[in-house]
């Protein structure tokens, strides 16, 4: 087992640091590990079978649907309307535009399901406005990057679907509902940081807008926010599955972006479909190769050995969960979320369950943990998008991000050790 684990993880990280595409890293490392216990042709056949089997899931159909609906919403003029709505509702709070930025990212991330899309769309509108109010470009970009990760917890979220597959049967509907309180808690923590920064810097507080201005701004954003109600409400009520909800989200996004807002022309649909196909292909390639890796992990009893090893270090669940969080924080700094979830869920989930943690609770903890990796160097994809949008260097973002890292880690620890934050809503809805 020790040799198998060494070959599997060692070769994977060697290839990763050589900038080999990550799905190839996973597939080649898995094949090399299989060759330790079987001949070449059986190994190749087994790899192909496990990859095909990993994609043989009805739930995976939700991913291309939500990717397409997210792209339609992202280009459909949604960001501007959500920002104006947030400005009308919370613009007069301490922290002003920074708090508006956080709320806008929460709303847009929940609709699009993409932290990268939220950073790009919201950042393009908010960063110039924040600069006019005296905010530093690097701080504004840091706020946008950190706040965009809330959309990975507030459903619909593709990474929750990936975790549901990797965990072997956690309800997607339960995961969607479980993400609301942690996502809102994370957003509130970032708002507190923004308010504190504004207080220290002495930024003026905007005047409260009259209802005659607030109501039209909120009304203009309601059609966009209704998608959340439609998708999640339908899933919770049992009217349709998560996959069917994805298809409904595509239809609704099309009507909103093309027919109502008219921000997307029919001629643009070809490019949007091509982009959604590319994104889906990348995700499904990762899922296929990770399914094969999960099989070889199980075949070699690696998760059981890791579980036994961790539990021999200490019998204190607080320390073990802290150690898992530290490992995942390091992993998230070097690896994108999708492969990290697919690879490390079968390794750490048995340990968490041995400690009495439910798969649902562990999933929310893991997603929040790896979300921090999206804004952590050296690989954080959201971090680089924020740098590009704000036209600042990476090192300029790190200092303003420090208090936001602390706020996010504080929320992570709270969610880790208080299961009710993740489990109360699913239990209330009987999921």
**Residue 124: pLDDT band with limits 50, 70, 90:** confident
Residue 238 CB burial class (10 angstroms; 0-12, 13-18, ≥19): exposed
**Residue 205: pLDDT band with limits 50, 70, 90:** low
Residue 359's pLDDT is 93
DSSP 182-202: HHHHHHHHHHHHHHHHHHHHT
pLDDT mean across residues, the chain: 83
**Predicted structure pTM score:** 0.85
pLDDT in tens, 356-414: 899 999 999 999 999 998 888 777 778 888 888 888 887 888 888 899 999 999 999 99
Rounded to an integer, what distance in angstroms lies between the CA atom of residue 413 and that of residue 322? 8
Tell me the range of 61-75, 121-135, 221-235, 406-420 where mean pLDDT is highest. Answer: 406-420
Residue 154's pLDDT is 86
Tell me the range of 41-55, 128-142, 212-226, 373-387 where mean pLDDT is highest. Answer: 41-55
Q: Which residues contact 233 (CB under 8 A, 6 or more apart)?
A: 239
Residue 206's pLDDT is 65
Quick one: which of 218, 224, 147 has its CA closest to 183? 147
**Residue 308: pLDDT band with limits 50, 70, 90:** confident
Question: Is pLDDT above 60 for 1?
Answer: no
Tell me the range of 3-12, 120-129, 247-256, 360-369 where mean pLDDT is highest. Answer: 360-369
Both tokens of residue 14?
A: 């060697």
Residue 189's pLDDT is 94
Instruction: Tell whether the torsion through CA atoms of 376, 340, 181 and 92 is positive or negative.
Output: positive
Quick one: which of 371, 288, 281 has its CA closest to 328? 371
pLDDT in tens, 402-415: 999 999 999 999 99
Question: Is pLDDT above 80 for 76?
Answer: no
Both tokens of residue 198?
A: 């504004």
Rounded to an integer, what distance in angstroms lies between the CA atom of residue 293 and that of residue 346? 10
As a whole number, mean pLDDT of residues 51-62 equals: 81
The residue to which tokens 């990057």 are assigned: 145
Could you say which DSSP state residue 93 is in? S
**Residue 52: pLDDT band with limits 50, 70, 90:** confident
Cα Rg of the chain, angstroms: 22
Alpha-carbon torsion angle 175, 66, 240, 225, nearest 10: 80
As a whole number, mean pLDDT of residues 175-199 equals: 89
Question: Is pLDDT above 80 for 305?
Answer: no
User: Any alpha helices (H) in 335-428, and if so which ranges?
Assistant: 337-354, 359-373, 381-390, 394-417, 420-428
> Do residues 86 and 104 make contact, with C-beta atoms less than 8 angstroms apart?
yes
Angle between helices 317-334 and 337-354 (to 10 degrees): 170
Cα–Cα distance list, 205 to 147, 195, 199 (Å)? 21, 10, 10
Q: Angle CA(221)–CA(222)–CA(224) in degrees, nearest 5?
A: 70
Tell me the range of 13-22, 75-84, 207-216, 344-353 where mean pLDDT is highest. Answer: 344-353
Q: Which residues contact 130 (CB under 8 A, 6 or more apart)?
A: 97, 98, 101, 140, 143
Rounded to an integer, what distance in angstroms lies between the CA atom of residue 310 and that of residue 316? 10
Rounded to an integer, what distance in angstroms lies between the CA atom of residue 105 and that of residue 231? 19
Half-sphere exposure of 22 (CA within 13 A, CB side): 16
User: Any alpha helices (H) in 113-210, and if so which ranges?
Assistant: 115-132, 137-148, 158-166, 172-178, 180-201
Cα–Cα distance list, 139 to 50, 116, 324 (Å)? 46, 18, 30
**Of the candidate ranges 115-119, 202-206, 223-227, 296-300, the one whose mean pLDDT is the lowest:** 202-206
> Do residues 85 and 106 make contact, with C-beta atoms less than 8 angstroms apart?
no
């Amino acid at each position: 087992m020790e040799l198998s684990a060494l070959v599997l993880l060692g070769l994977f990280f060697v290839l990763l640091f050589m900038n080999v595409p990550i799905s190839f890293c996973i597939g080649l490392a898995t094949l090399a590990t299989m060759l330790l216990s079987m001949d070449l042709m059986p190994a190749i056949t087994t790899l192909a079978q496990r990859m095909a089997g990993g994609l043989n899931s009805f739930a995976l159909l939700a991913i291309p649907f939500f990717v397409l609906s997210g792209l339609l919403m992202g280009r459909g003029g949604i960001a501007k309307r959500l920002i104006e709505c947030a400005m009308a509702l919370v613009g007069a709070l301490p922290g002003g535009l920074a708090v508006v930025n956080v709320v806008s990212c929460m709303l847009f991330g929940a609709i699009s399901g993409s932290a990268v899309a939220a950073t790009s769309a919201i950042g393009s509108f908010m960063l110039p406005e924040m600069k006019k109010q005296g905010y530093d470009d690097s701080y504004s970009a840091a706020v946008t990057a950190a706040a965009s990760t809330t959309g990975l917890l507030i459903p619909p979220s593709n990474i929750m679907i990936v975790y549901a597959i990797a965990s072997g049967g956690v309800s997607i509907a339960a995961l969607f509902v479980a993400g609301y309180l942690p996502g809102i808690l994370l957003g509130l923590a970032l708002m507190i940081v923004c308010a504190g920064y504004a207080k220290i810097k002495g930024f003026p507080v905007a005047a409260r807008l009259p209802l005659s201005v607030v109501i039209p701004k909120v009304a203009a954003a309601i059609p966009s926010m209704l998608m959340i109600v439609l998708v999640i409400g339908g899933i919770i009520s049992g009217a349709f599955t998560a996959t069917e909800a994805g298809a409904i989200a595509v239809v609704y996004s099309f009507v909103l972006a093309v027919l109502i807002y008219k921000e997307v022309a029919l001629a643009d649909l070809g490019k949007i479909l091509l982009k959604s196909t590319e994104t889906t292909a990348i995700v499904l390639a990762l899922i296929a190769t990770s399914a094969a890796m999960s099989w070889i992990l199980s075949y070699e009893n690696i998760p059981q050995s890791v579980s036994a090893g961790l539990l021999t270090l200490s019998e204190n669940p607080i320390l073990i969960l802290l150690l898992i969080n530290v490992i995942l924080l390091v992993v998230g700094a070097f690896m994108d979320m999708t492969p990290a979830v697919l690879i490390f869920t079968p390794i750490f989930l048995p340990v968490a369950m041995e400690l009495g943690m439910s798969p649902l609770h562990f999933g929310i903890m893991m997603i929040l943990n790896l979300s921090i990796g999206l804004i952590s160097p050296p690989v954080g994809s959201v971090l680089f998008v924020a740098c590009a949008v704000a036209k600042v260097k990476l090192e300029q973002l790190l200092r303003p991000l420090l208090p936001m890292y602390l706020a996010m880690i504080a929320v992570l620890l709270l969610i880790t050790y208080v299961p009710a934050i993740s489990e109360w809503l699913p239990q209330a809805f009987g999921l």
